[in-house]
Amino acid sequence: MSHYTRPLNRQDYKTLTLAALGGALEFYDFIIFVFFAAVVGELFFPADIPEWLRQVQTFGIFAAGYLARPLGGIIMAHFGDLVGRKKMFTLSILLMALPTLAIGLLPTYASVGIVAPLLLLLMRILQGAAIGGEVPGAWVFVAEHVPEKRIGIACGTLTAGLTVGILLGSVVATLINTHLTPQGIHDGGWRIPFLLGGAFGLVAMYLRRWLQETPIFLEMQQRKALAQELPVKAVALKHQKAVVVSMLLTWLLSAGVVVVILMSPVWLQKHYGFAPAITLQANSIATIMLCIGCLLAGLAADRFGASRTFIVGSVFLAAASWAFYHLSGDSPQRLFLLYGAVGLCVGVVGAVPYVMVRAFPAEVRFTGISFSYNVSYAIFGGLTPIAVTMLMGVSPMAPAWYVLALSLMGLGLGIWLRQGLEQQVATPKAELQRLP
């Protein structure tokens, strides 16, 4: 049996497990901030400023992490293409774990004054740089380890792992808010999730020591086939089509998750009057189904190709999201069913990295994915909540229309991918043969 079609072996499973675990912990560390934003704002800013200003400053610090993603991702990808995938893959989780641990230990405004929010801002910037390198690095790392016909499920598993990180953050926040009083959280309980995330991140970094450099990078080193010019320059000049498609796919990934998973619970409370506890339960079901959907999309990409996966998946997403936003208000049971269904269909984004890792040649793959993913995520991940909120002033069904538009874009990309993006921008000659 050739390396191209062989099943996943023990080493592949170890690589996938450690990569997915690290990705989940990184996403947990990055988003846990938002669950405790209110208490962080109270502790890290003066007590005498208006509440709205405190919220703006707190979420401004949160947003700084997103702004740091493109720069951090591009720098780490640059060295990942020149000195090795494994080194940058390990560095990314260290760069996430230490600032997360530090946030849990930071002095508050009452102790050190203006230094407190400045230190918090610095930690968020470091976290943003780390996550900017982690996600593209993980996709590249596993895609270059597994057989060609298993890239879809490998990348789908990693994307599901990132979703688990969001779910983990929600669960930890719920447990702390359930078992501690508001005063207890204010007095130090808020530090617990950051300390846990930092500690587990360091453990994950230690475990990544056992990973091996990718066969493709080692072969490039041996053949002296590494990028001869700045990788980002080569990407910008020679792979524009791949960049555009990757950015549009990232828009589908980021906006789909933001609107359906992150924004919908509040929308359900306001539009249909569901209790927060009900929407939280429904959201947890949707998040679990999203994980399953990512795995199924990865399997489908391996079996049927990216084009068919996005065509069929986008049609299902359009139908499921339209039904969810229009019909879920009748009863909690219907809400759970429809939210779970749309969460499963959003899982089509699990096939996004399958396209991206095949769109760029090996010598600039890390940089190409990192540049496209992080720039697009910074733009669309940041603007989507604002756009949807403004559109809701025109129609309360704005989220439904937005997800429908995303579905149509996914359908269009699926049709366009029938031409074979990897053949257009990264010919077989540009791709190195995988080692047995």
- Per-residue pLDDT at 435: 33
Taking residues 139-151, report their average pLDDT.
85
Domains, the chain, in order of start with CATH, read: 10-210 (1.20.1250.20), 234-426 (1.20.1250.20)
Is the per-residue pLDDT at 307 higher than 50?
yes
- Per-residue pLDDT at 120: 92
* pTM score: 0.83
Mean pLDDT is highest, among 51-65, 94-108, 207-221, for 94-108
Tens digit of pLDDT for each residue in 360-409? 888 788 888 988 998 888 888 778 888 888 888 899 999 999 999 999 99
Nearest to 84 by CA among 205, 201, 216: 216
- Per-residue pLDDT at 304: 92
Q: pLDDT grade, residue 13 (50/70/90)? A: confident
Q: pLDDT grade, residue 41 (50/70/90)? A: confident
- Per-residue pLDDT at 326: 93
- Per-residue pLDDT at 230: 67
Tens digit of pLDDT for each residue in 68-119? 888 888 888 877 777 777 778 788 888 888 999 999 999 999 888 899 999 9
The residue among 325 and 382 whose pLDDT is bigger is 325
- Per-residue pLDDT at 209: 77
Tens digit of pLDDT for each residue in 224-276? 555 555 677 778 778 888 899 999 999 999 889 889 988 888 889 888 988 88
- Per-residue pLDDT at 427: 39
- Rounded to the nearest integer, the mean pLDDT of the chain is 84
Taking residues 59-72, report their average pLDDT.
81
Q: Give percent of the chain with pLDDT exceeding 90.
A: 33
